[in-house]
Structure 1
Amino acid sequence: MYSVRHRSLVAALMLVAAVSGCGSTPSAATQEPAAKTAAEQQAPVQQLRTIPLTIVTNDGKRHGYTVEVARTSDEQAQGLMYRRSMPKDAGMIFPFAAPRPATFWMHNTYIPLDMVFLLADGRIESILADVPPLNEAQRSSLGPVAAVLELNAGEAARIGATPGDLVEYDLRDLQGGAE
């Protein structure tokens, strides 16, 4: 017959085993990503066609990127929403069918960005640097632009991009910009 003391010891050991099995923290490699919000579940991340793009800074240096092209109104409305990261040499370009003033915000955008506003001749009109994520303040071009390029925050400063620098890209193989 087991004594009360023995049963208490067995119960305590079982409790320790159960708690230690549940209380361990998985390594970073095995952790599940954070649960998606309802908005993220309704609007999955879209993968758009990519093109090469080069920024030629005023010192003559060429900086290459692979950018996704948000062509349609729906693609442009979603942009980089819900993305948690973007490769260093990547971005997204939003071409317009005709130059117009452009206003952007960071609704549901988790990546801090540089917004580079482009004129019809491919020159940089203006740069809004280090736009914080999840900020719904509207940010606008200075005037009509033909496209907006989004890069990781700090990228424009890192390469020394300034208004007047040339951005080279070719959209001929894609259908026209959004209205």
Structure 2
Amino acid sequence: MTSRFRFAFLAFSLLLLAGCGPPWRVIRASGPPSALASASVVGVSFDWSRALVGGVPEQQYLAGLPPDEQANYVEVHTAIEATYLLELQRQAPGVQVVASTGAEPIQLVVMPGFLELGYYRVLVARDSRLDMHLVFAMGGVAVDEIEIRATRGADLRNPTVLNRMSDCAARNAQLTAQFIRRARES
């Protein structure tokens, strides 16, 4: 009985520890101290060249859509960028977040990776998901890189793709701001 209890305790402890740690995957880290510690202005740009929508490249996905659905997707694409930038500005106090001109001391290139637009029908649904690869650069040299992911359930209260993907973009901006805050504290 004791060995079963120990095993159960160990398994439970490991499950709890699995949830510890930051909600991003670090690809490259500067520091300590972090190169972002002195961040006061961050210029944000988007690079959609690696974006996969439902598993296919974005341009191929768009080419396969009828014109009205292309317009809907372009609206989602635009909303992702606008929502991300606005939410990052709100969530990063002490840091001026602007659309990149190239002159900012820190450049953040946001590369959307995998997009699952999802859908909601009365009997079936697929959640929306937005993966992003972020590269922070100073003087054209990458200093920090992370990957983040947000998902949003498709349900009766949130049936539209536009709302779900905007929510995913906002969540990813919150994670980005959290990463910047931690870097500034180090």
Please indicate the TM-score interval, normalised by the length of the shorter structure. Answer: under 0.3
Normalising by structure 1, report the TM-score. 0.25
Higher helix share: 2
Normalising by structure 2, report the TM-score. 0.24
